[in-house]
Chain A
Amino acid sequence: EAGVAQSPRYKIIEKRQSVAFWCNPISGHATLYWYQQILGQGPKLLIQFQNNGVVDDSQLPKDRFSAERLKGVDSTLKIQPAKLEDSAVYLCASSLHRDRWNTGELFFGEGSRLTVL
């Protein structure tokens, strides 16, 4: 079974430029998450989709970050314009479903490392 695919693996941009990250979850997984992992910290949730609807985007900086999940499969996370503090690894994860007790396993991709100069 193929895992969660992300691209690009690495991206270097200058501040105020834009960047986009792509994620393809495990086939059949209804729930998709984007996390931001700053060096030395644990992952922080940016946005969660259930199929193609947004469930939680309370921690997404909406003035510069946007995300979409077309047709309930692939997802794209965009940053425009980027700031120095956006340097981080952006992790995509998926799960089979979002049960009431949230005991389902999250499956993570390898991440996209962003460096903003």
Chain B
Amino acid sequence: GDSVTQMEGPVTLSEEAFLTINCTYTATGYPSLFWYVQYPGEGLQLLLKATKADDKGSNKGFEATYRKETTSFHLEKGSVQVSDSAVYFCALSPSYGQNFVFGPGTRLSVLP
């Protein structure tokens, strides 16, 4: 079945460091890909998405490019802030309106 694999955390960075969180997926057809973020004590919220190959999603300085050839959707940010500390979930929505599949999440801690 469809699945999402993320790099294990926790990831600890200093403020202004470069961030990469790897995400790879297994799916038939042409899924849509998402990154959701969960700040402490809050629900998940959409960070960015891409609906077809080579699309780049971006928001709040974060970017991810839908790479069909490597089945990847890695999350990047050039300069992280303390306020980016959260758990990040990669997710896919399989073709034809089936339900979301979430990865296990990667916890990011940014130190001042």
Contact surface of A with B, Cβ cutoff 8 Å = 3-4, 33, 40-45, 48, 56, 91, 93, 98-103, 105-111
Contacts and interface: CB of A to CB of B under 8 A. Distances in A.
Contacts of A3: 43
A55 B1 CA distance: 19
Nearest to A44: B102
B97 A98 contact: yes
Interface string B25-37: 0000000100010
Contact of B96 (A100, A105, A110): A100
Interface of B: 4, 32, 36, 41-46, 49, 51, 89, 91, 93-100, 102-105
Given A41-B104, A41-B105, A42-B4, A102 B93 contact: yes
Contacts, number: 62
B93 A91 contact: no
Contact of B104 (A42, A56, A102, A108): A42
B102 A105 contact: no
A107 B44 CA distance: 8
A42 B104 CA distance: 4
A105 B102 CA distance: 14
B42 to A, nearest CB: 6
Contacts of B98: 102
Contact of B91 (A33, A42, A91, A99): A42
